[in-house]
């Protein structure tokens, strides 16, 4: 196990840019689940709830990826980080409905708006 952790740390040190994009994507998905569960009113239409979740996932992913990237590799300019983080966040939002469905199937208390019947 220690060898695996050391290998993982070595990969993270050697590749801080992709690591920040992956962590930013995972953080954005977690933000989307939290917003669905606690912040977005259920009185909104399904389309409005999905739109708010998608927008929060894209904005959260781009912001988190850019901040982590800036911390891990400050030599890159903010413009370069944003020009890569925003499209990656937009594409990662496409995967959020599948992740939300899987998480709801595993933990029904999540209750995502992205149900299989839609």
Question: Higher model confidence: residue 113 or residue 56?
Answer: 56
What are the residues whose beta carbons fall under 8 Å from the beta carbon of 94, sequence distance 6 or more?
A: none
pLDDT at 13: 80
Rounded to whole angstroms, what are the CA distances from 2 to 5, 6, 7?
A: 5, 6, 8
Q: How many CB atoms lie within 10 A of CB 40?
A: 19
pLDDT in tens, 35-83: 888 888 888 898 898 899 999 999 999 999 999 999 888 898 999 999 9
* Torsion sign across C-alpha atoms 10, 11, 14, 15: negative
pLDDT in tens, 1-26: 788 888 878 887 888 889 999 999 99
pLDDT at 62: 95
What are the residues whose beta carbons fall under 8 Å from the beta carbon of 23, sequence distance 6 or more?
A: 64, 65, 68
Rounded to whole angstroms, how far apart are CA atoms 89 and 61? 5
Is the per-residue pLDDT at 104 higher than 70?
Answer: yes
Decide: residue 23, CB within 10 A, 0-12 exposed, 13-18 middle, 19+ buried: middle
pLDDT at 84: 94
Provide mean pLDDT across the span 79-104. 90
């Amino acid at each position: 196990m220690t060898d695996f952790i050391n290998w993982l740390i070595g990969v993270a040190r050697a590749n801080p840019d992709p690591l920040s994009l992956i962590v930013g994507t995972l953080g954005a998905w977690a933000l989307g689940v939290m917003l669905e569960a606690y912040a977005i009113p259920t009185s909104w239409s399904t389309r409005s709830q999905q739109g708010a979740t998608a927008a929060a996932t894209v904005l959260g992913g781009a912001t988190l990826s850019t901040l982590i990237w800036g911390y891990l590799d400050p030599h890159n300019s903010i413009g370069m980080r944003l020009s890569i983080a925003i499209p990656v966040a937009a594409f990662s939002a496409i995967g959020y409905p599948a992740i939300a469905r899987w998480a709801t199937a595993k933990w029904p208390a999540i209750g995502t708006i992205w149900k299989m019947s839609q």
